[in-house]
Amino acid sequence: MSSAQKSYKKPYYEQVADKLIEQLKKGTAPFQKPWEPGNLAMPHNPVSGARYKGSNAFWLQMQEREDPRWMTYKQAQSIGAQVRKGEKGTLIQYWKFTEEKIKRDANGKPVIGADGKKVKQTTKLDKPRVFSASVFNAEQIDGLPELKKVEPRWDQHERAEKILAASAANISHDQEDRAFYSPSTDKIHLPTKEQFPTADNYYAVALHELGHWTGHPSRLDRDLTGSFGSEKYAKEELRAEISSLMVGDELGIGHDPSHHAAYVNSWIKVLQDDPKEILRAARDAEAIKDYVLSSEQKKTATVQASAKKETPVSSVDEAAQRLAGSFKNPADAERFIAAVNKNVAQRVQHHYHDQEEELER
Protein backbone atom coordinates (compact mmCIF):
# COMPACT_ATOMS: atom_id res chain seq x y z
CA MET A 1 0.00 0.00 0.00
CA SER A 2 1.41 3.39 -0.98
CA SER A 3 1.86 6.26 1.48
CA ALA A 4 -0.90 8.14 -0.36
CA GLN A 5 -3.30 5.24 0.18
CA LYS A 6 -2.38 5.02 3.86
CA SER A 7 -3.02 8.73 4.40
CA TYR A 8 -6.38 8.70 2.59
CA LYS A 9 -9.30 9.00 4.93
CA LYS A 10 -12.72 8.20 3.57
CA PRO A 11 -15.28 11.02 3.61
CA TYR A 12 -18.12 10.73 6.07
CA TYR A 13 -20.66 9.69 3.43
CA GLU A 14 -18.40 6.88 2.17
CA GLN A 15 -17.97 5.56 5.70
CA VAL A 16 -21.74 5.53 6.17
CA ALA A 17 -22.38 3.89 2.78
CA ASP A 18 -19.67 1.24 3.25
CA LYS A 19 -20.96 0.21 6.67
CA LEU A 20 -24.54 0.14 5.45
CA ILE A 21 -23.60 -2.08 2.50
CA GLU A 22 -21.79 -4.42 4.91
CA GLN A 23 -24.83 -4.57 7.22
CA LEU A 24 -27.27 -5.02 4.34
CA LYS A 25 -25.33 -8.08 3.21
CA LYS A 26 -25.50 -9.48 6.75
CA GLY A 27 -29.12 -8.50 7.29
CA THR A 28 -28.23 -6.32 10.29
CA ALA A 29 -29.00 -2.80 8.99
CA PRO A 30 -31.27 -0.86 11.41
CA PHE A 31 -34.29 -1.08 9.12
CA GLN A 32 -33.70 -4.79 8.39
CA LYS A 33 -34.22 -5.78 12.00
CA PRO A 34 -37.68 -6.10 13.56
CA TRP A 35 -38.16 -3.82 16.55
CA GLU A 36 -40.82 -4.54 19.10
CA PRO A 37 -42.85 -1.60 20.44
CA GLY A 38 -40.88 0.25 23.11
CA ASN A 39 -37.56 -1.51 22.36
CA LEU A 40 -36.05 1.13 20.10
CA ALA A 41 -35.14 4.72 20.81
CA MET A 42 -33.54 6.92 18.18
CA PRO A 43 -30.07 8.32 19.00
CA HIS A 44 -30.23 11.45 21.11
CA ASN A 45 -28.01 13.71 23.18
CA PRO A 46 -29.01 13.67 26.88
CA VAL A 47 -26.97 16.80 27.60
CA SER A 48 -28.43 19.09 24.93
CA GLY A 49 -31.78 17.29 24.90
CA ALA A 50 -31.69 17.13 21.09
CA ARG A 51 -32.37 14.12 18.88
CA TYR A 52 -29.81 13.42 16.17
CA LYS A 53 -31.36 13.81 12.73
CA GLY A 54 -30.97 12.58 9.19
CA SER A 55 -27.80 10.69 8.32
CA ASN A 56 -26.33 11.27 11.79
CA ALA A 57 -29.26 9.49 13.46
CA PHE A 58 -29.05 6.63 11.01
CA TRP A 59 -25.23 6.43 11.25
CA LEU A 60 -25.25 6.29 15.04
CA GLN A 61 -27.95 3.64 14.95
CA MET A 62 -25.73 1.57 12.67
CA GLN A 63 -23.10 1.37 15.43
CA GLU A 64 -25.32 -1.31 16.99
CA ARG A 65 -25.23 0.05 20.53
CA GLU A 66 -27.95 -0.87 23.00
CA ASP A 67 -27.95 2.60 24.58
CA PRO A 68 -29.33 5.45 22.39
CA ARG A 69 -27.47 8.20 24.27
CA TRP A 70 -24.55 9.90 22.52
CA MET A 71 -22.47 12.95 23.47
CA THR A 72 -19.09 14.61 22.99
CA TYR A 73 -16.17 14.13 25.36
CA LYS A 74 -16.65 17.62 26.83
CA GLN A 75 -20.37 17.14 27.25
CA ALA A 76 -19.76 13.98 29.25
CA GLN A 77 -17.34 15.86 31.50
CA SER A 78 -19.83 18.70 31.92
CA ILE A 79 -22.23 16.37 33.73
CA GLY A 80 -19.60 14.67 35.85
CA ALA A 81 -19.12 11.63 33.60
CA GLN A 82 -15.94 10.38 31.93
CA VAL A 83 -15.22 8.64 28.64
CA ARG A 84 -13.17 5.55 29.40
CA LYS A 85 -9.55 5.55 28.34
CA GLY A 86 -8.96 3.99 24.94
CA GLU A 87 -12.54 4.38 23.71
CA LYS A 88 -12.91 5.54 20.11
CA GLY A 89 -15.42 8.21 19.14
CA THR A 90 -17.84 8.10 16.21
CA LEU A 91 -17.73 10.85 13.60
CA ILE A 92 -20.85 12.86 12.85
CA GLN A 93 -21.35 15.90 10.64
CA TYR A 94 -23.75 18.80 10.77
CA TRP A 95 -24.44 21.73 8.49
CA LYS A 96 -24.72 25.42 9.24
CA PHE A 97 -26.83 27.37 6.76
CA THR A 98 -27.22 30.64 8.66
CA GLU A 99 -25.26 32.72 11.10
CA GLU A 100 -26.15 35.39 13.62
CA LYS A 101 -24.52 38.80 13.19
CA ILE A 102 -24.87 42.21 14.80
CA LYS A 103 -27.10 44.44 12.69
CA ARG A 104 -25.40 47.59 11.44
CA ASP A 105 -26.72 50.85 10.03
CA ALA A 106 -25.72 52.56 6.79
CA ASN A 107 -22.58 53.90 8.48
CA GLY A 108 -21.52 50.49 9.70
CA LYS A 109 -22.36 51.18 13.33
CA PRO A 110 -24.21 48.62 15.46
CA VAL A 111 -27.97 49.14 15.69
CA ILE A 112 -29.09 49.51 19.30
CA GLY A 113 -32.49 48.17 20.29
CA ALA A 114 -35.04 49.59 22.71
CA ASP A 115 -33.49 47.53 25.49
CA GLY A 116 -30.14 49.22 24.97
CA LYS A 117 -28.52 46.09 23.54
CA LYS A 118 -27.08 45.52 20.09
CA VAL A 119 -29.61 44.12 17.66
CA LYS A 120 -28.71 40.77 16.11
CA GLN A 121 -30.01 39.34 12.86
CA THR A 122 -29.81 35.95 11.23
CA THR A 123 -28.44 35.85 7.69
CA LYS A 124 -28.18 33.02 5.18
CA LEU A 125 -24.65 31.91 4.36
CA ASP A 126 -23.58 32.10 0.72
CA LYS A 127 -22.18 28.59 1.07
CA PRO A 128 -23.27 26.14 3.78
CA ARG A 129 -20.53 25.14 6.21
CA VAL A 130 -20.00 21.61 7.39
CA PHE A 131 -18.71 20.82 10.86
CA SER A 132 -17.52 17.51 12.26
CA ALA A 133 -17.66 16.21 15.80
CA SER A 134 -16.72 13.01 17.58
CA VAL A 135 -19.35 11.56 19.89
CA PHE A 136 -19.29 8.67 22.34
CA ASN A 137 -22.02 6.25 23.27
CA ALA A 138 -23.19 5.98 26.87
CA GLU A 139 -21.77 2.43 26.92
CA GLN A 140 -18.31 4.00 26.55
CA ILE A 141 -18.78 6.42 29.43
CA ASP A 142 -18.55 5.97 33.19
CA GLY A 143 -20.63 7.94 35.65
CA LEU A 144 -23.89 8.21 33.70
CA PRO A 145 -27.23 7.37 35.29
CA GLU A 146 -28.83 4.10 34.24
CA LEU A 147 -30.87 4.26 31.06
CA LYS A 148 -34.58 4.32 31.77
CA LYS A 149 -36.55 2.21 29.34
CA VAL A 150 -39.47 4.03 27.77
CA GLU A 151 -42.55 1.87 27.89
CA PRO A 152 -44.89 1.85 24.86
CA ARG A 153 -47.47 4.63 24.98
CA TRP A 154 -50.90 3.38 25.99
CA ASP A 155 -52.45 5.51 23.26
CA GLN A 156 -50.03 4.75 20.41
CA HIS A 157 -52.71 3.16 18.24
CA GLU A 158 -55.12 6.02 18.83
CA ARG A 159 -52.40 8.49 17.89
CA ALA A 160 -51.49 6.54 14.74
CA GLU A 161 -55.15 6.47 13.71
CA LYS A 162 -55.42 10.23 14.24
CA ILE A 163 -52.34 10.81 12.05
CA LEU A 164 -53.83 8.75 9.23
CA ALA A 165 -57.16 10.57 9.52
CA ALA A 166 -55.59 14.03 9.79
CA SER A 167 -53.52 13.45 6.66
CA ALA A 168 -56.76 13.22 4.63
CA ALA A 169 -55.05 10.56 2.50
CA ASN A 170 -57.39 8.42 0.36
CA ILE A 171 -57.05 4.95 1.92
CA SER A 172 -58.92 1.84 0.72
CA HIS A 173 -58.88 -1.49 2.54
CA ASP A 174 -59.40 -3.53 -0.61
CA GLN A 175 -56.42 -5.89 -0.78
CA GLU A 176 -55.90 -9.52 0.20
CA ASP A 177 -52.16 -9.59 0.89
CA ARG A 178 -50.71 -6.43 -0.62
CA ALA A 179 -50.15 -2.88 0.57
CA PHE A 180 -49.13 -0.13 -1.82
CA TYR A 181 -49.50 3.51 -2.79
CA SER A 182 -50.56 4.37 -6.34
CA PRO A 183 -49.10 7.72 -7.50
CA SER A 184 -51.39 7.81 -10.56
CA THR A 185 -54.55 7.79 -8.43
CA ASP A 186 -52.95 9.26 -5.30
CA LYS A 187 -54.48 6.43 -3.30
CA ILE A 188 -53.24 4.01 -0.60
CA HIS A 189 -54.42 0.40 -0.81
CA LEU A 190 -54.29 -1.88 2.25
CA PRO A 191 -55.70 -5.22 3.46
CA THR A 192 -58.37 -4.95 6.13
CA LYS A 193 -57.18 -4.48 9.71
CA GLU A 194 -58.34 -7.98 10.62
CA GLN A 195 -55.79 -9.50 8.23
CA PHE A 196 -52.85 -8.15 10.22
CA PRO A 197 -51.45 -10.15 13.16
CA THR A 198 -51.40 -7.11 15.46
CA ALA A 199 -52.54 -3.49 15.54
CA ASP A 200 -48.89 -2.42 15.68
CA ASN A 201 -48.23 -4.30 12.44
CA TYR A 202 -51.22 -2.70 10.71
CA TYR A 203 -50.25 0.84 11.64
CA ALA A 204 -46.59 0.25 10.75
CA VAL A 205 -47.62 -0.81 7.23
CA ALA A 206 -50.20 1.96 6.86
CA LEU A 207 -47.72 4.63 7.93
CA HIS A 208 -45.08 3.18 5.61
CA GLU A 209 -47.47 3.67 2.69
CA LEU A 210 -48.33 7.14 4.00
CA GLY A 211 -44.60 7.83 3.70
CA HIS A 212 -44.79 7.01 -0.02
CA TRP A 213 -47.93 9.20 -0.23
CA THR A 214 -45.88 12.22 0.86
CA GLY A 215 -43.90 11.96 -2.39
CA HIS A 216 -46.83 13.19 -4.51
CA PRO A 217 -46.09 16.41 -6.51
CA SER A 218 -48.54 18.34 -4.32
CA ARG A 219 -46.57 17.36 -1.20
CA LEU A 220 -42.83 16.61 -1.01
CA ASP A 221 -42.59 15.97 -4.76
CA ARG A 222 -40.20 13.02 -4.97
CA ASP A 223 -39.62 10.95 -8.11
CA LEU A 224 -42.19 8.14 -7.90
CA THR A 225 -41.98 7.10 -11.56
CA GLY A 226 -39.81 4.03 -11.00
CA SER A 227 -41.28 0.62 -11.79
CA PHE A 228 -40.81 -2.35 -9.47
CA GLY A 229 -37.20 -3.54 -9.56
CA SER A 230 -35.83 -0.30 -10.99
CA GLU A 231 -33.20 1.93 -9.38
CA LYS A 232 -35.74 4.72 -8.84
CA TYR A 233 -38.06 2.29 -7.08
CA ALA A 234 -35.25 1.08 -4.84
CA LYS A 235 -34.32 4.64 -3.89
CA GLU A 236 -37.89 5.47 -2.90
CA GLU A 237 -38.17 2.28 -0.84
CA LEU A 238 -34.92 3.12 0.95
CA ARG A 239 -36.38 6.47 1.99
CA ALA A 240 -39.65 4.92 3.08
CA GLU A 241 -37.92 2.23 5.15
CA ILE A 242 -35.71 4.69 7.03
CA SER A 243 -38.64 7.01 7.69
CA SER A 244 -40.76 4.05 8.85
CA LEU A 245 -38.13 3.25 11.43
CA MET A 246 -38.20 6.87 12.65
CA VAL A 247 -42.00 7.12 12.76
CA GLY A 248 -42.31 3.70 14.39
CA ASP A 249 -39.99 4.82 17.16
CA GLU A 250 -41.78 8.15 17.60
CA LEU A 251 -45.16 6.47 17.99
CA GLY A 252 -43.95 3.38 19.83
CA ILE A 253 -45.46 0.91 17.34
CA GLY A 254 -42.22 -0.87 16.41
CA HIS A 255 -40.92 -1.75 12.96
CA ASP A 256 -41.51 -4.78 10.73
CA PRO A 257 -39.05 -5.11 7.78
CA SER A 258 -40.31 -8.46 6.49
CA HIS A 259 -42.21 -6.96 3.54
CA HIS A 260 -39.17 -5.23 2.04
CA ALA A 261 -36.41 -7.84 2.01
CA ALA A 262 -36.63 -8.04 -1.80
CA TYR A 263 -34.98 -4.63 -2.18
CA VAL A 264 -31.67 -5.46 -0.46
CA ASN A 265 -29.64 -6.17 -3.60
CA SER A 266 -31.00 -3.06 -5.28
CA TRP A 267 -30.09 -0.92 -2.27
CA ILE A 268 -26.55 -2.31 -2.27
CA LYS A 269 -26.13 -1.50 -5.96
CA VAL A 270 -27.49 2.03 -5.52
CA LEU A 271 -25.05 2.73 -2.67
CA GLN A 272 -22.09 1.20 -4.48
CA ASP A 273 -22.81 3.35 -7.54
CA ASP A 274 -23.25 6.54 -5.51
CA PRO A 275 -22.27 6.54 -1.80
CA LYS A 276 -23.79 10.03 -1.34
CA GLU A 277 -27.21 8.52 -1.93
CA ILE A 278 -27.37 7.47 1.71
CA LEU A 279 -27.13 11.14 2.78
CA ARG A 280 -29.94 12.10 0.41
CA ALA A 281 -32.05 9.14 1.52
CA ALA A 282 -31.62 9.93 5.22
CA ARG A 283 -32.39 13.59 4.61
CA ASP A 284 -35.55 12.76 2.67
CA ALA A 285 -36.57 10.21 5.31
CA GLU A 286 -36.36 12.93 7.96
CA ALA A 287 -38.56 15.16 5.79
CA ILE A 288 -41.06 12.31 5.34
CA LYS A 289 -41.22 11.75 9.08
CA ASP A 290 -41.74 15.47 9.74
CA TYR A 291 -44.50 15.68 7.13
CA VAL A 292 -46.34 12.59 8.40
CA LEU A 293 -46.25 13.75 12.01
CA SER A 294 -47.16 17.34 11.09
CA SER A 295 -50.67 16.29 10.05
CA GLU A 296 -51.46 15.54 13.70
CA GLN A 297 -50.19 18.96 14.79
CA LYS A 298 -52.10 20.81 12.08
CA LYS A 299 -55.35 19.05 12.92
CA THR A 300 -54.95 19.97 16.58
CA ALA A 301 -54.39 23.60 15.62
CA THR A 302 -57.54 23.70 13.49
CA VAL A 303 -59.70 22.13 16.22
CA GLN A 304 -58.38 24.60 18.78
CA ALA A 305 -59.13 27.51 16.47
CA SER A 306 -62.75 26.41 16.08
CA ALA A 307 -63.40 25.50 19.71
CA LYS A 308 -61.70 28.36 21.50
CA LYS A 309 -62.04 31.16 18.94
CA GLU A 310 -58.46 32.16 19.59
CA THR A 311 -55.09 32.02 17.92
CA PRO A 312 -54.39 28.39 16.95
CA VAL A 313 -51.31 26.79 18.38
CA SER A 314 -49.28 25.30 15.52
CA SER A 315 -45.71 24.11 15.84
CA VAL A 316 -45.80 23.58 12.07
CA ASP A 317 -45.61 27.27 11.29
CA GLU A 318 -45.12 29.99 13.90
CA ALA A 319 -45.97 32.66 11.34
CA ALA A 320 -49.36 31.02 10.80
CA GLN A 321 -49.90 30.99 14.55
CA ARG A 322 -49.35 34.74 14.81
CA LEU A 323 -51.37 35.69 11.74
CA ALA A 324 -54.34 33.46 12.53
CA GLY A 325 -54.75 35.43 15.74
CA SER A 326 -56.01 38.37 13.72
CA PHE A 327 -59.12 36.48 12.60
CA LYS A 328 -62.20 37.07 14.73
CA ASN A 329 -64.27 34.49 12.87
CA PRO A 330 -63.25 30.86 13.65
CA ALA A 331 -64.24 29.83 10.11
CA ASP A 332 -61.78 32.35 8.68
CA ALA A 333 -59.08 31.00 10.98
CA GLU A 334 -59.83 27.47 9.78
CA ARG A 335 -59.56 28.53 6.13
CA PHE A 336 -56.26 30.23 6.86
CA ILE A 337 -54.85 27.13 8.56
CA ALA A 338 -56.08 25.02 5.63
CA ALA A 339 -54.08 27.24 3.29
CA VAL A 340 -51.02 26.71 5.45
CA ASN A 341 -51.62 22.96 5.38
CA LYS A 342 -51.72 22.99 1.58
CA ASN A 343 -48.31 24.60 1.45
CA VAL A 344 -46.61 22.68 4.25
CA ALA A 345 -44.72 20.56 1.72
CA GLN A 346 -43.02 23.67 0.37
CA ARG A 347 -41.87 24.54 3.90
CA VAL A 348 -40.49 21.08 4.58
CA GLN A 349 -38.71 21.05 1.24
CA HIS A 350 -37.18 24.46 1.94
CA HIS A 351 -35.81 23.11 5.22
CA TYR A 352 -33.82 20.50 3.33
CA HIS A 353 -33.23 22.39 0.03
CA ASP A 354 -29.75 23.69 0.78
CA GLN A 355 -28.50 20.21 1.64
CA GLU A 356 -29.51 18.99 -1.84
CA GLU A 357 -27.33 21.64 -3.47
CA GLU A 358 -24.36 20.75 -1.32
CA LEU A 359 -24.77 16.99 -1.83
CA GLU A 360 -24.73 17.36 -5.60
CA ARG A 361 -21.27 18.97 -5.56
**Spans of all domains in the chain:** 93-136, 152-361
* CA angle (100, 103, 105) in 5-degree steps: 160
State the average pLDDT over residues 222-236.
93
Ramachandran angles phi, psi of 98, nearest 5° = -135, 165
Q: Looking at 151-160, 204-213, 284-293, which range is the least confident one?
A: 151-160
pLDDT at residue 261, as a whole number:
73
Candidate from 175-184, 257-266, 349-358 with smallest mean pLDDT: 349-358
- The half-sphere exposure of 190 on its side-chain side, counting CA atoms within 13 A, is 22
Per-residue confidence band for 94, with pLDDT thresholds at 50, 70 and 90: confident
Given a cut of 60, is residue 205 above it in pLDDT? yes
Give the pLDDT score at 316: 47
pLDDT number for residue 56: 95
Span of 80-94, 131-145, 149-163 with lowest mean pLDDT: 149-163
Q: What is the distance between the alpha carbons of residues 9 and 304, in angstroms, rounded to a whole number?
A: 53
Amino acid at 30: P
Position 203 scores a pLDDT of 94
d(Cα 2, Cα 129) in Å, to the nearest integer? 32
DSSP state string for 67-92: --BEEEHHHHHHTT-EEPTTPPPEEE
Radius of gyration of the chain (CA): 23
Residue 338 neighbours by CB under 8 Å, 6+ apart: 302
Do 352 and 295 meet the contact criterion of CB atoms below 8 Å apart?
no
Mean pLDDT of 151-165: 84
- How far apart are alpha carbons 167 and 37 in whole angstroms? 23
Give the CA distances from residue 250 to residues 122, 255, 273, 300, in Å, rounded to whole numbers and listed in that order.
31, 11, 32, 18
Q: Does the pLDDT value for residue 152 go beyond 70?
A: no
Residue 357 pLDDT > 50, yes or no? no
What confidence score (pLDDT) does residue 327 get? 53
Q: What backbone torsions phi and psi does residue 339 show, to the nearest 5 degrees?
A: -65, -40
pLDDT at 314: 42
pLDDT score for 307 = 53
User: What was the pLDDT predicted at 4?
Assistant: 45
Helices (H), ranges, the chain: 3-7, 12-26, 54-61, 73-78, 156-167, 199-213, 231-251, 264-273, 277-308, 318-324, 330-342, 344-359
Q: Is the pLDDT of residue 143 over 60?
A: yes
More confident residue, 331 or 155: 155
Amino acid at 327: F
Under the banding of pLDDT at 50, 70 and 90, the label for residue 149 is: confident
Mean pLDDT across the chain, nearest whole number? 83
Beta bridge partners of 132: 93
Choose the most confident range, by mean pLDDT, from 123-137, 192-206, 292-306.
192-206
Of 110-114, 123-127, 240-244, 345-349, which has the strongest mean pLDDT?
240-244
Does the pLDDT of residue 224 top 60, yes or no? yes
Mean pLDDT of 125-141: 91
**Residue 2 predicted with pLDDT over 50:** no
Please state the rounded mean pLDDT for residues 173-199.
95
**Is residue 333 pLDDT above 90, yes or no?**
no
User: What is the distance between the alpha carbons of residues 109 and 113, in angstroms, rounded to a whole number?
Assistant: 13
Instruction: Quick: pLDDT tens for 42-77.
Output: 899 999 999 999 999 999 999 999 999 999 999 999
Q: What is the mean pLDDT of residues 1-9?
A: 51
Q: Which of 202-216, 219-233, 255-269, 309-323 has the lowest mean pLDDT?
A: 309-323
